[in-house]
């Protein structure tokens, strides 16, 4: 039998300070990079056409001219500050990015999203004739076709941005509510803080390396949210189960044991998802690249945070809550007996378990 | 146990067969099911069937995606302006001393303001005007000598929605008449964003359609302020001159419009007086005798058979024809301006009563005449449209994305399978079967719910591979743990499944909850991604829990062999 991480006995919670400092440093690095870029007059994040507005054109050439030639041709046609990016995986394609033309107000202008494509097509005609996207290149001479256009006006860009943020926050609230119902609200809060941390760290990396953020990156962040919460729940589930089995143990010890018991599963699953995502980075093509990159980073930190961030916060918070509201044990038992419903009984067992240990022990062991 | 096993096997067999049937049932060109033929079982046949069955998004299939917004504020402004005209007339008719009327549009408020010379009459004027003019969308208020009617918030909302709906209908008829195949037209964005999404598969260069959609062909037939035939029509060289003829100020019942005289005769039977002469100006009477809403048909016709010499013939609806007939009957000899988009296109004189037809002449090319006829026929847009987003994907780009997605999925799947077999040995086979079934069922569910597969959707499928296997990992790790505590194989499996099931439900429901938000509130790629993720996770409950369990039960019950060890 092949085994990974068998009988690990590591005191995760004892090292919580180190973990939390590492996380804070990572988040600071991201925030620092964003602030630094902003201070230097640069955009804090490399927002793609989806969020910033602008035009992204994919042109396919019979013989691809160099990026400099394309830039010269565009400038000749009056298109300045275009970003020209030869597609690395395909030797005949070039991505041309144009920033949003005109000011915010001109978003009202109906020509807004048209200008880019027409101008670029005009400029590229200096390399050869234009061919319709679904036709073959002419036999003679160089020719090109525009195989893709993404043009987003300022209004739509802002709307997409706001929507992405709102949807992410809503999803987090949904997760918080669900975990609070299934566990305790402190568990939910801890899980959501951990996930929030993952999103921040990943976004921070995107600022540091100035990778482009487009709509698919948002999809990746949302996957990461689901994924990181998954890991956290697996651990919390074990904590809940162990609390029921070992009612004399402290929450601290039980959480540590639970992390260790589920460690092999956590690593294997994360490793497998990591493998599928690496496959996406390598074979998924240019379009999926930002998405896959976000996931690669996200999975690493998502796994780390469910072990090193979510659990310590949960333990700390849960103990704090129980210290602040010391309810007499008999009252709670009475509720459990007359409560009737199975769910409720489970609930009270789980909360009463750590309080069976004298609070002083709890504190000594944890703090 | 034995009976249970048979029952489980039957359920799994039926589900698998139904899924395979859904995926591979052949369809004809119209998308209807048809009987399979021999050619359906070749590689190309299967590929074709899959392409027909799986509804591909524009990013994979190629096509155009346009988001436009109805400028409803223009619509409201016009509404307020129309109300103002009515208010002024009604107040004057009621004998009030009207000092000023104006229609304000600022900061999302649309007001009609009436200022009276006598402040004590304000309330009276308010009530009298309300009887004559339809102001039910406005709420009146009186302060001093001023009556203000403000367009209410609820009216703004319903009028905005109404304008959007109307615009959608018009866009629909416009794209249908140019023959775009399988377009989807729907409202986009949140409530009150007045956005419309149009997707046109297979359209590579949407320029012409874009122009056609936002085309504002507003036709008006108006009386020219001029002495009648046989004297030539009164025109002015400049706008100022035309205004000067009205005493420097254009009154509400007059309008000054540019007039591009081409080759229209200025009087009966005469040759064009000055063909293609520069733009001149005319004064016309407002409001129009009839406008575009009264149009019944509009067609492009060539006058001489020459391709650059098209004109547009139109006929009027009975209600318009009645008005038009009465007016032309009473104005024989007068000049009538055919006004298209605030420009006088031609100004024939009325020889005799005309009831229901007319022409818009000018030197149109075939396509411009046809497009204009089309926009006229489909009716005027309630307000201007602007494009917010345009995405076009060429067929080759889509093909490349499919290839990349399929390669990435295959490689991901292979890596996962290899690891599972290596790490869990015999039980790994179990997981692989569950995983393959998971993929088959996910694709079948996609087809069954007619969901659209997009590029992020493929990414979702790749992720479900990883997440699907997570359920098996949870279960297997648990079984290993139980075995270590010295339990028998049967009870270790039993316990492993029971314990892991709680966790699987918790993790799945959490992910589904967050994905549902993406599905409900997200658009575009976010939505496409959540669809496959949700379907994959739901299906996974069946494949990883029910199917894997059945395989273990089968292993435990094999005839003649007692399970001594479990390969896990």
How close is the nearest chain B Cα to the Cα of A43, in Å? 22
Contacts of A223 (CB under 8 A, 6+ apart): A295, A298, B460, B463, B529, B533
Residue B163 located in a structural domain: no
Subunit contact B509:A178, Cβ cutoff 8 A: yes
Subunit contact B467:A288, Cβ cutoff 8 A: no
Domain final residue, candidates A90, A117, A152: A152
B511 CB neighbours in chain A (<8 A) are 226-227, 229-230
Residue B174 located in a structural domain: no
Residues B214 and B198: beta-carbon distance below 8 Å: no
Residue B562 located in a structural domain: no
B463 CB neighbours in chain A (<8 A) are 223, 273, 276-277, 295
B411 CB neighbours in chain A (<8 A) are 279, 282-283
Residue A146 maps to which CATH number?
A: 3.30.70.3400
A216 and A339 belong to one structural domain: yes
- Which chain B residue has its CA at the smallest distance from A162's CA? B522
Angle A18-A24-A30 from CA coordinates, rounded to 5° = 140
B105 and B55 belong to one structural domain: no
Domain final residue, candidates B139, B155, B171: B155
A309 and A254 belong to one structural domain: yes
Residues B66 and B390: beta-carbon distance below 8 Å: yes
Which of B384, B460, B474 has its CB closest to that of A265?
B474
Count of domains for chain A: 2
How close is the nearest chain B Cα to the Cα of A174, in Å? 6
Residue A259 located in a structural domain: yes
Output the 3-class SS for B472-522: HHHHHHHHHHHHHCCCCHHHHHHHHHHHHHHHHHHHHHHHHHHHHHHHHHC
Domain final residue, candidates A100, A121, A152: A152
List b or e across B514-530, with b for residues whose CB sees 16 or more CB atoms inside 10 angstroms: bbebbbebbbbbbbbbb
Give the residue from B210, B495, B513 with the most A CB atoms within 10 Å of its CB, the best one to mutate.
B513
Residue A196 located in a structural domain: yes
Alpha helices in B69-138 (DSSP H): 72-93, 122-132
The DSSP output letter for B547 is I
Task: From residue A122, give the alpha-carbon distance in Å to each of A76, A79, B211, B483.
Answer: 10, 10, 19, 71
CA distance B493 to B475: 9
B313 and B457 belong to one structural domain: no
pLDDT by 10s per residue, chain A, length 367: 677 777 778 888 888 889 999 999 999 999 999 999 999 988 888 888 888 888 888 888 888 888 888 888 888 887 777 888 888 777 888 888 887 655 444 444 444 556 677 778 888 888 888 877 777 777 677 788 888 888 887 777 787 788 888 888 888 898 899 999 988 899 999 999 999 999 999 999 999 998 888 877 887 887 788 888 888 999 999 999 999 998 888 899 999 999 998 998 888 888 888 888 888 888 877 777 888 888 899 999 999 998 889 999 999 998 888 888 765 544 444 444 443 444 344 444 444 444 444 433 433 333 3
Subunit contact B473:A114, Cβ cutoff 8 A: no
Residue A133 located in a structural domain: yes
Report residue A349 CA to chain centroid gap. Answer: 35
Subunit contact B510:A179, Cβ cutoff 8 A: yes
Residue B526 located in a structural domain: yes
Domain final residue, candidates A152, A178, A198: A152
Bridge partners of B359?
B313
CA distance B162 to B317: 23
B12 and B131 belong to one structural domain: no
Instruction: List pLDDT tens digits, range B17-75.
Output: 999 998 888 877 666 777 777 777 788 888 888 888 888 888 888 888 888 889 888 88
Report residue B422 CA to chain centroid gap. Answer: 51
B29 and B117 belong to one structural domain: no
Residues B389 and A156: beta-carbon distance below 8 Å: yes
Q: How do beta strands B219-223 and B254-259 pair?
A: unpaired
Domain range for A120 is 54-152
How close is the nearest chain A Cα to the Cα of B520, in Å? 9
- H or E element: which one contains B186? strand B184-188
A117 and A178 belong to one structural domain: no
A239 and A358 belong to one structural domain: yes
Q: Is B258 helix (H, G, I), strand (E, B) or coil?
A: strand
Contacts of B21 (CB under 8 A, 6+ apart): none
A189 and A96 belong to one structural domain: no
A256 and A294 belong to one structural domain: yes
A104 and A65 belong to one structural domain: yes
Residue B210 located in a structural domain: no
B226 and B318 belong to one structural domain: yes
A170 CB neighbours in chain B (<8 A) are 517, 521
B18 and B85 belong to one structural domain: no
CA distance B527 to B447: 16
Which residue from B274, B282, B278 is spatially nearest to B226, judged by alpha carbons?
A: B282
The token duo for B44 is 């190309």
Which of B59, B480, B510 has its CB closest to that of A226?
B510
Subunit contact B214:A110, Cβ cutoff 8 A: yes
Query: What local confidence, expressed as pLDDT, does residue A334 receive?
Result: 40
A79 and A124 belong to one structural domain: yes
B428 CB neighbours in chain A (<8 A) are none
B523 CB neighbours in chain A (<8 A) are 160, 163
The token duo for A336 is 């459990």
Q: Is the ipTM of this complex over 0.95?
A: no
Residues A229 and A191: beta-carbon distance below 8 Å: yes
Please tell me the number of Cα atoms within 13 Å of A295 on its side-chain side: 31
Query: Rounded to a whole number, what is the distance in angstroms from the first to the last CA of chain A?
Result: 39
Query: What local confidence, expressed as pLDDT, does residue B418 receive?
Result: 92
Please tell me the number of Cα atoms within 13 Å of B213 on its side-chain side: 28
Query: What local confidence, expressed as pLDDT, does residue A235 receive?
Result: 92
Residue A108 located in a structural domain: yes
A76 and A118 belong to one structural domain: yes
B46 and B79 belong to one structural domain: no
B235 and B321 belong to one structural domain: yes
Instruction: List pLDDT tens digits, range B524-553.
Output: 667 778 888 889 989 999 998 899 999 988
- Which chain B residue has its CA at the smallest distance from A296's CA? B463
What residues of chain B score a pLDDT lower than 70? 1-3, 29-31, 229, 261-278, 306-308, 362-363, 524-525, 559-564
A152 CB neighbours in chain B (<8 A) are 388-390
The token duo for A228 is 């990181």
B306 and B408 belong to one structural domain: no
A209 and A139 belong to one structural domain: no
List b or e across B343-371, with b for residues whose CB sees 16 or more CB atoms inside 10 angstroms: ebbbbbbbeeebbbebebbbbbeeebbbb
Contacts of A230 (CB under 8 A, 6+ apart): B467, B470, B507, B510, B511
Which of A107, A237, A272 has its CB closest to that of B506?
A237
- Which chain A residue has its CA at the smallest distance from B422's CA? A2
Which of B473, B506, B522 has its CB closest to that of A265?
B473
Give the residue from B388, B402, B418 with the most A CB atoms within 10 Å of its CB, the best one to mutate.
B388
Count of domains for chain B: 3
Q: How do beta strands B219-223 and B336-340 pair?
A: antiparallel
Query: Rounded to a whole number, what is the distance in angstroms from the first to the last CA of chain B?
Result: 22
B85 and B58 belong to one structural domain: no
Which residue from B65, B455, B527 is spatially nearest to A285, judged by alpha carbons?
A: B455
Interface of A with B in 131-170 (CB under 8 A): 132-134, 145-153, 155-156, 159-160, 163-164, 166-167, 170
Residue B151 maps to which CATH number?
A: 3.30.1360
Residue A46 located in a structural domain: no
Domain final residue, candidates B128, B155, B182: B155
Q: Is B52 helix (H, G, I), strand (E, B) or coil?
A: helix
Residue B186 located in a structural domain: no
The token duo for A299 is 């999975």
B392 CB neighbours in chain A (<8 A) are 133, 146, 148-150
Residue found under tokens 């409530």: B191
Query: What local confidence, expressed as pLDDT, does residue B103 receive?
Result: 86
B506 CB neighbours in chain A (<8 A) are 182, 233, 237
Residue B354 maps to which CATH number?
A: 3.30.1360.200
Give the residue from A149, A290, A300 with the most B CB atoms within 10 Å of its CB, the best one to mutate.
A149
Give the residue from B502, B507, B528, B533 with the most A CB atoms within 10 Å of its CB, the best one to mutate.
B507
- Which chain A residue has its CA at the smallest distance from B204's CA? A133
B533 CB neighbours in chain A (<8 A) are 223, 226
A251 and A279 belong to one structural domain: yes
Residue A311 maps to which CATH number?
A: 1.20.1640.10
Task: From residue A80, give the alpha-carbon distance in Å to each of A51, A52, A101, A114.
Answer: 20, 17, 10, 16
How close is the nearest chain B Cα to the Cα of A267, in Å? 10
Subunit contact B387:A163, Cβ cutoff 8 A: no
Which residue from B454, B501, B503, B490 is spatially nearest to B565, judged by alpha carbons?
A: B490
Residue A178 located in a structural domain: yes
B481 and B544 belong to one structural domain: yes
Domain range for B39 is 2-62+394-556
A186 and A277 belong to one structural domain: yes
Query: What local confidence, expressed as pLDDT, does residue B99 receive?
Result: 86
Residue B169 located in a structural domain: no
Subunit contact A222:B518, Cβ cutoff 8 A: yes
Output the 3-class SS for chain A: CCCCCCCCCCCCHHHHHHHHHHHHHHHHHHHHHHHHHHHCCCCCCEECHHHHCEEEEEEEECCCCCHHHHHHHHHHCCCCCCEEEECCCCCCEEEEEEECCCCCHHHHCCCCCCHHHHHHHHHHCCCCEECCCCCCCCCCCCEEEEEEEEEECHHHHHHHHHHHHHHHHHHHHHHHHHHHHHCCHHHHHHHHHHHHHHHHHHHHHHHHCCCEECHHHHHHHHHHHHHHHHHHHHHHHHHHHHHHHCCCCCHHHHHHHHHHHHHHHHHHHHHHHHHHHHHHHHHCHHHHHHHHHHHHHHHHHHHHHHHHHHHHHHHHHHHHHHHHCCCCHHHHHHHHHHHCCHHHHHHHHHHHHHHHCCHHHHHHHHC
B223 and B361 belong to one structural domain: yes
Residue B136 located in a structural domain: yes
CA distance B278 to B236: 11
The token duo for A70 is 């394309």
Residue A32 located in a structural domain: yes
Q: Is B401 helix (H, G, I), strand (E, B) or coil?
A: helix
Bridge partners of B300?
B312
Query: What local confidence, expressed as pLDDT, does residue B562 receive?
Result: 60
Which of A2, A134, A265 has its CB closest to that of B395?
A134
Which of B477, B511, B533 has its CB closest to that of A264?
B477
């Amino acid at each position: 039998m092949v085994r990974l991480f068998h009988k690990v006995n590591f005191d995760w919670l004892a090292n919580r300070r180190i973990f939390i400092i590492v996380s804070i440093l990572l988040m600071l690095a991201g925030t620092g990079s964003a602030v630094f870029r902003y201070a230097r007059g640069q955009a804090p994040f490399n927002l793609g056409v989806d969020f910033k507005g602008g035009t992204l054109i994919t042109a396919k050439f019979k013989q691809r001219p160099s990026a400099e030639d394309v830039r010269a041709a565009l400038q000749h046609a009056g298109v300045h500050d275009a970003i020209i990016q030869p597609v690395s995986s395909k030797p005949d394609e070039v991505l041309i990015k144009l920033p949003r033309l005109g000011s915010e107000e001109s978003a009202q202008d109906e020509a807004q999203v048209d200008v880019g494509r027409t101008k670029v097509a005009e400029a590229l005609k200096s390399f050869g004739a234009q061919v319709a996207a679904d036709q073959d290149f002419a036999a003679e001479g160089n020719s090109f076709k525009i195989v893709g256009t993404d043009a987003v006006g300022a209004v739509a860009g802002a709307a997409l941005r706001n929507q992405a943020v709102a949807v992410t926050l809503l999803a987090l609230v949904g997760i918080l509510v669900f975990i609070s119902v299934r566990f305790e609200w402190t568990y939910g809060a801890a899980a959501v803080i951990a996930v929030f941390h993952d999103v921040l760290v990943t976004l921070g990396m995107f600022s540091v390396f100035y990778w482009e953020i487009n709509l698919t990156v948002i999809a990746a962040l949302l996957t990461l949210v689901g994924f990181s919460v998954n890991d956290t729940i697996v651990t919390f589930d074990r904590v809940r189960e162990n609390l029921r089995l070992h009612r004399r143990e402290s929450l601290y010890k039980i959480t540590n044991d639970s992390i260790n018991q589920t460690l092999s599963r956590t690593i294997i699953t994360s490793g497998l998802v990591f493998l599928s995502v690496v496959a996406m980075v390598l074979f998924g093509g240019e379009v999926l690249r930002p998405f896959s990159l976000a996931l690669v980073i996200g999975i690493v930190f998502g796994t780390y945070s469910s072990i090193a961030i979510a659990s310590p916060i949960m333990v700390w918070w849960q103990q704090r809550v129980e210290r602040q509201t010391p309810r007499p044990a008999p009252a709670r038992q009475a509720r459990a007996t007359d409560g009737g419903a199975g769910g409720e009984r489970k609930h009270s067992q789980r909360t009463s378990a750590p309080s069976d240990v004298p609070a002083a022990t709890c504190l000594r062991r944890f703090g | 146990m034995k009976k249970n096993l048979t029952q489980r096997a039957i359920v799994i067999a039926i589900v698998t067969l139904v899924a395979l049937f859904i995926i591979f049932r052949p369809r004809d060109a119209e998308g209807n099911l048809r009987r399979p033929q021999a050619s359906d079982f070749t590689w190309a046949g299967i590929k074709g069937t899959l392409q027909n069955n799986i509804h591909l998004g524009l990013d994979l299939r190629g096509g155009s995606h346009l988001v436009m917004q109805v400028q409803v504020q223009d619509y409201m402004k016009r509404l307020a302006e129309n109300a103002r005209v009515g208010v002024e007339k009604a107040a004057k008719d009621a004998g009030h001393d009207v000092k000023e009327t104006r229609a304000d549009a600022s900061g999302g408020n649309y007001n009609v303001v009436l200022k009276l010379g006598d402040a004590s009459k304000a309330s009276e004027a308010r009530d009298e005007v309300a009887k004559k003019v339809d102001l039910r969308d406005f709420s009146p208020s009186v302060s001093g000598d001023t009556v203000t009617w403000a367009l209410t918030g609820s009216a703004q909302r319903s009028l905005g929605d109404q304008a959007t709906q109307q615009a959608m209908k018009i866009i629909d008829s416009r794209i249908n008449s140019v023959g775009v195949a399988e377009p989807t037209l729907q409202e986009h964005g949140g409530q009150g964003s007045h956005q419309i999404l149009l997707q046109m598969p297979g359209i590579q260069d949407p320029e012409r359609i874009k122009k056609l959609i936002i085309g504002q062909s507003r036709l008006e037939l108006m009386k020219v302020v001029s002495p009648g035939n046989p004297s030539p029509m009164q025109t002015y060289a400049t706008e100022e001159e035309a205004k000067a003829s009205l005493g420097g100020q254009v009154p509400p019942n007059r309008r000054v419009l540019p007039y591009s005289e081409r080759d229209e005769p200025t009087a009966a039977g005469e040759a064009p007086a000055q063909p293609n002469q520069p733009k001149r100006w005319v004064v016309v009477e407002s409001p129009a005798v009839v406008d575009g809403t009264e149009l019944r048909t509009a067609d492009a016709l060539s006058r001489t058979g020459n391709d650059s010499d098209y004109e547009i013939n139109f006929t009027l609806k009975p209600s318009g024809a009645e008005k038009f007939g009465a007016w032309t009957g009473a104005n024989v000899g007068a000049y009538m301006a055919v006004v298209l988009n605030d420009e006088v296109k031609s100004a024939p004189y009325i020889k005799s009563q005309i009831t229901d037809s007319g022409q818009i002449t000018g030197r149109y090319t075939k396509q411009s005449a046809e497009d204009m006829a089309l926009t006229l026929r489909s009716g005027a847009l309630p307000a201007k449209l602007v494009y917010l987003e345009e995405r076009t994907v060429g067929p080759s780009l889509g093909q490349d994305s499919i290839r990349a997605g399929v390669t990435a999925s295959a490689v991901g799947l292979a890596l996962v399978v290899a690891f599972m077999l290596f790490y869990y040995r015999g039980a790994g086979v179990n997981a692989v079967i569950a995983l393959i079934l998971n993929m088959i069922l996910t694709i079948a569910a996609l087809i069954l719910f007619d969901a659209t597969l997009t590029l992020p959707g493929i990414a979702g499928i790749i992720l479900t591979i990883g997440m699907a296997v997570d359920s098996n990992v949870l279960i297997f790790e648990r079984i290993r743990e139980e075995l270590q505590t010295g339990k028998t194989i049967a009870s270790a499996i039993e316990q492993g499944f029971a314990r892991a099931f709680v966790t699987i439900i918790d993790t799945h429901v959490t992910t589904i909850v967050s994905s549902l938000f993406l599905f409900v509130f997200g658009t575009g790629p976010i939505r496409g991604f959540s669809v496959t993720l949700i379907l994959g996770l739901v299906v996974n409950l069946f494949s990883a829990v029910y199917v894997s369990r059945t395989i273990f039960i089968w292993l435990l019950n094999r005839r003649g062999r007692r399970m001594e060890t479990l390969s896990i």
